[in-house]
């Protein structure tokens, strides 16, 4: 675990009033696990499907499948509270085994949480299993093959349990890449990317993961769905888009056909400094609307720039003024050169000045941010991120509304926060905002954060934003999500769920309010 630079320790003490380090449990033996509720005969039937070596009720297995990676999850781990742990962890090796497990769980009314990389930050791994005969985690880690690589169509058929680096390594041997690099990349899985509509740091160039998915196989309690015979089609509603984002509530994704690209020959990352967040946002908007489009586009607001958050290794090391953009290009050597020159002209016209080192240091350290959080929590800070997305014309209002809500709630609790923000993903019609919040932790930091987050969520909806751009819905966003799509939208989801999962065993309470209860 990284240690905090002195500058950060000083910021915590002087800036946020952090006074004392937080306590945490020492080892897994101190974590309180709930009693196993799953009846032994049912556990035996389920175990027989996967084989005893791929089924476990050990405390270690149960604890490892009890949490995601939100700050609330980390706080619960630290507090030794594993109330959400499954009774049994099962690792099937095939689509057919998944189908069999789902049928048994349906018959016996056992709740199922599909588990990939465990990187949910929205409570996606804590279904509400009240009223069920138990809870099992269906861990897809053994479904980890590159099934097919179609060089002509640039398609890879991947199993859901492949983690980001594993998938990239398998594809890289053939000279291909998905180009999907979210911050969770090192742990998150292909199935999770699809089920939760992940979006990576190079989405401007490669697209969101949901845009790259052209085929899906899904095991549901009602049978198998096989979707996607073509990149696009007019054959009715796009049912792939009903499974993408379904977060395990409709079925378990057992195969994903994903668009790949040839591994880029050239990669260039640069920093560009703008006088203000607004000026930088205008330049990014022009690039994404009129081209040429860089592969990576990200813009920190003034506060985040000042704190150097885009370069985790140098946080607090003193950054310049204004708003720092990271602009990256990946592709063929000649193509990157042309695109770089054209885009640089647009950025310069938009008032940007080149900051040569910032790009490469961002690229080097870009997966490092989340690891700092543990050290910050240890030091007695409360740190968390949240994100949203809207159209460009509403972006400034959304930015202000969410910042104000976070500041208002945390200040009212006596812990005035630092609120940082960046534009993390851009589209011709809009952009996402990614907020990082830090404050001194109160005695009950979970309640402290829940209050701040609720205020932010209300502000997001009031300002016209979507409740999530790429973190997903889970349990944490569920009630705001229901407001976002309206009662009739929720009814549609319930109808689909009732068809695919009549017993309501899949991730009850995740995504859909009241589902499976």
Cβ distance to its own copies smaller for residue 317 or 492: 492
Q: CB of residue 243 vs its own copies: minimum separation in angstroms?
A: 7
3-class secondary structure, 476: coil
Q: Where does residue 314 fall: left (phi above 0), alpha (psi -120 to 50 degrees), or beta otherwise?
A: alpha
- The answer to whether 505 touches 256, Cβ cutoff 8 Å, is no
Residue with tokens 């309010």: 513
Cβ distance to its own copies smaller for residue 172 or 489: 489
Cβ distance to its own copies smaller for residue 225 or 376: 225
Cβ distance to its own copies smaller for residue 302 or 387: 387
Cα separation, 213 vs 193, whole angstroms: 10
Q: CB of residue 273 vs its own copies: minimum separation in angstroms?
A: 23
Beta bridge partners of 422: 300, 434
DSSP-assigned letter for residue 13: I
Cα separation, 456 vs 197, whole angstroms: 21
Query: 130, exposed or middle or buried, with CB in 10 Å at 0-12, 13-18, 19+?
Result: exposed
Cβ distance to its own copies smaller for residue 171 or 493: 493
Q: CB of residue 261 vs its own copies: minimum separation in angstroms?
A: 8
> Of the candidates 97, 83, 95, 85, which has an alpha carbon nearest to the alpha carbon of residue 47?
97
Q: CB of residue 356 vs its own copies: minimum separation in angstroms?
A: 26
Task: Compute how many other C-beta atoms are within 10 angstroms of the C-beta atom of residue 236.
Answer: 6
Q: CB of residue 61 vs its own copies: minimum separation in angstroms?
A: 28
Alpha-carbon 261 to chain mean position? 22
Give the residue numbers annotated as catalytic, written as ranges.
Answer: 434
- Residue-wise DSSP of 180-214: ---TTTTT-BHHHHHHTT---TTHHHH--HHHHEE
Q: CB of residue 41 vs its own copies: minimum separation in angstroms?
A: 29
Cβ distance to its own copies smaller for residue 17 or 334: 334
Cβ distance to its own copies smaller for residue 277 or 418: 277
b/e per residue 78-88 (b: at least 16 CB within 10 A)? bbbbbebbbbb
Give φ, ψ of 384 to 5 degrees.
-155, 165
Cβ distance to its own copies smaller for residue 87 or 210: 210
Listed in sequence order, the residues at least 6 apart from 183 whose beta carbon sits closer than 8 Å to its beta carbon are 201, 366, 367, 369, 370
Q: At what angle do helices 40-50 and 95-108 cross, to 10 degrees?
A: 170
> Of the candidates 200, 191, 204, 20, which has an alpha carbon nearest to the alpha carbon of residue 98?
191
Tokens linked to 187: 């742990």
Helix extents (H) in 208-327 = 209-212, 240-243, 277-290, 302-307
Q: CB of residue 126 vs its own copies: minimum separation in angstroms?
A: 17
Q: CB of residue 345 vs its own copies: minimum separation in angstroms?
A: 10
Q: CB of residue 317 vs its own copies: minimum separation in angstroms?
A: 33
First-residue to last-residue Cα distance in the chain: 40
Cβ distance to its own copies smaller for residue 29 or 211: 211
- Residue-wise DSSP of 411-453: HHTT-PPEEEEEEEEEETTEEEEEEEEEEE--SSHHHHHHHHH
């Amino acid at each position: 675990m990284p240690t905090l630079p002195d500058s950060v320790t000083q910021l915590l003490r002087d800036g946020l009033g952090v006074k004392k380090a937080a306590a945490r449990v020492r080892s897994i033996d101190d974590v309180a696990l709930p009693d196993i509720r799953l009846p032994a005969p049912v556990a035996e039937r389920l175990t027989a499907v996967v084989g005893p070596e791929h089924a476990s009720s050990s405390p270690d297995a149960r604890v490892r499948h009890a949490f995601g990676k939100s700050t609330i999850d980390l706080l619960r781990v630290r507090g030794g509270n594993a109330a959400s742990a499954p009774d049994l962890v099962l690792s099937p090796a095939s689509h057919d085994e998944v189908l069999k497990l789902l049928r048994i769980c349906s018959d016996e009314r056992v709740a199922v949480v599909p588990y990939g990389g465990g990187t949910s930050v929205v409570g996606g791994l804590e279904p509400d299993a009240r009223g069920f005969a138990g809870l099992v985690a269906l861990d897809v880690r053994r479904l980890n093959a590159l099934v097919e690589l179609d060089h002509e169509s640039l398609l890879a058929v991947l199993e859901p349990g492949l983690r980001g680096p594993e998938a990239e390594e398998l594809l890289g041997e053939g000279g291909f890449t998905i180009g999907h690099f979210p911050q969770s990349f090192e742990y998150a899985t292909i199935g999770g990317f699809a089920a939760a509509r992940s979006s990576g740091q190079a989405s401007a160039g490669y697209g969101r993961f949901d845009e790259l998915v052209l085929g899906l196989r899904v095991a549901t309690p009602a049978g198998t769905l096989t979707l996607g015979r073509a990149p696009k089609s007019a054959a009715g509603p796009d049912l792939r888009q009903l499974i993408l984002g379904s977060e395990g509530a409709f079925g378990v994704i057992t195969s994903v056909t994903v668009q790949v690209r040839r591994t880029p020959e050239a990669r260039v990352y640069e920093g560009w400094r703008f006088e203000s967040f607004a000026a930088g946002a205008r330049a990014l908007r022009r690039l994404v609307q009129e081209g040429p489009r860089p592969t990576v586009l990200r813009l920190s607001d003034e506060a985040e720039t000042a704190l150097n958050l885009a370069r985790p290794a140098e946080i607090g090391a003193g950054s310049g003024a204004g708003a720092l953009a990271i602009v990256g290009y990946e592709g063929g050597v000649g193509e990157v050169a042309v695109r770089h020159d054209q885009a640089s002209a647009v950025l310069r016209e938009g008032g940007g000045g080149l900051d040569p080192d910032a790009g490469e240091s961002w690229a080097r350290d870009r997966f490092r941010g989340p690891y700092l959080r543990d050290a910050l929590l240890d030091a007695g800070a409360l740190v968390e991120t949240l994100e949203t997305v809207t159209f460009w014309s509403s972006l400034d209002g959304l930015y202000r509304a969410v910042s104000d809500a976070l500041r208002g709630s945390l200040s009212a609790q006596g812990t005035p926060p630092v609120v940082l923000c960046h534009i993390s993903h851009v589209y011709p019609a809009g952009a996402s905002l990614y907020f990082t919040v830090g404050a001194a932790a109160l005695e009950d930091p979970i309640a402290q954060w829940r209050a701040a987050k609720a205020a932010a969520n209300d502000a997001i909806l009031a300002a016209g934003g979507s409740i999530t751009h790429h973190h997903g819905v889970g349990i944490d966003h569920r009630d705001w999500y229901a407001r976002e799509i309206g009662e009739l939208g929720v009814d549609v989801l319930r109808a689909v769920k009732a068809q695919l999962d009549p017993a309501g065993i899949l991730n009850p309470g995740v995504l859909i309010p009241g589902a499976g209860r």
